[in-house]
Amino acid sequence: MLRRILAALCAALCMMGTLAGALAGGADEYRIEVDIANQITTVYRCSDGAVARQMICSTGLDDTTPRGTFHLQKSRAADRSEWYFIGKYQCFVKYPTRIQGSILFHSLPYADDDMSALDPEAAALLGQKASHGCVRLRWQDAKWIARNCPDGTETRIFTGATDEQALRKLLLKRGFSVDNGMSYERFTASIQPEGTEGLGRGDTGDEVKALQGQLQRLGFYGGAVTGEYDRATTLAVMRYQSARGFSPTGFATRPVLRRIMAEE
């Protein structure tokens, strides 16, 4: 019920944003929110308030990222291009989308217009305040915004009041996109519950390989044994949990893991 209320509220806010967006550039498909407290950027679909994409980000040090409601704009020919040189800081970024003035959505910085020249320090700080005011993203997320959120798209930047540490941990491993075929509810269902141990979305390694192999042998998993706890693994765990009377969260707690690995 609460989820429906929040979705309805977001849809209403999007409707209001559509009117303002029409004045700014006619964009009404998506609405963007940047939560500075949690370093999370979320794109909502205006038609129904659903989350279309959610990603970890890095905003500005010393409160240099402005708060407020803006509408995406284009003031330079190179905006939204694959590579963009920021002369003031002598670095390249990918897929810049202008929020206001010199404040952009863009990728992590690079020393050159080459994928191998990623700034390792900036990459290590993703999810923390680290920029000069822009909103840094993984390049895939910056590209998605540049390609899907046209000029006029409403963008709200605010200081969130709710601590979203569990969601942050998940987004640091892997962002959410509706393009991947998984609902947002299923994506967030695989968040590691506070105070529990186990395997969940974004985990990798030999233990995940063993889990995939066993689920495959039991007939719940049809994918490749990759060692990556991805969408297919999450759905396989959910199928197993449903079949064995567990709550189908997609997160494999230690009791669930022991039960899976013990089955003949």
Q: What share of the chain is helix, strand, coil (3-state, %, to 5)?
A: 35, 20, 40
Do β-strands 198-199 and 252-253 pair in parallel, antiparallel, or remain unpaired? antiparallel
* Alpha-carbon gap, residue 247 to 26, rounded angstroms: 44
**Residue 106 a catalytic site member:** yes
Question: How far does the chain reach from its first CA to its final CA, in angstroms?
Answer: 40
CB atoms near residue 133 (< 10 Å): 17
* Alpha-carbon gap, residue 13 to 45, rounded angstroms: 11
* Alpha-carbon gap, residue 133 to 62, rounded angstroms: 9
* Angle value at C-alpha 71, between 70 and 77, nearest 5 degrees: 125
Which amino acid is located at 86 in the chain?
A: I
3-state secondary structure 61-129: HHHCCCCEEEECECCCCCCCCCCEEECCCCEEECCCEEEECCEEEEECCECCCCHHHECHHHHHCCCCC
**Residue 134 a catalytic site member:** yes
Active-site residue, from 10, 57, 134, 149: 134
Q: Could you list the active site residues?
A: 106, 134
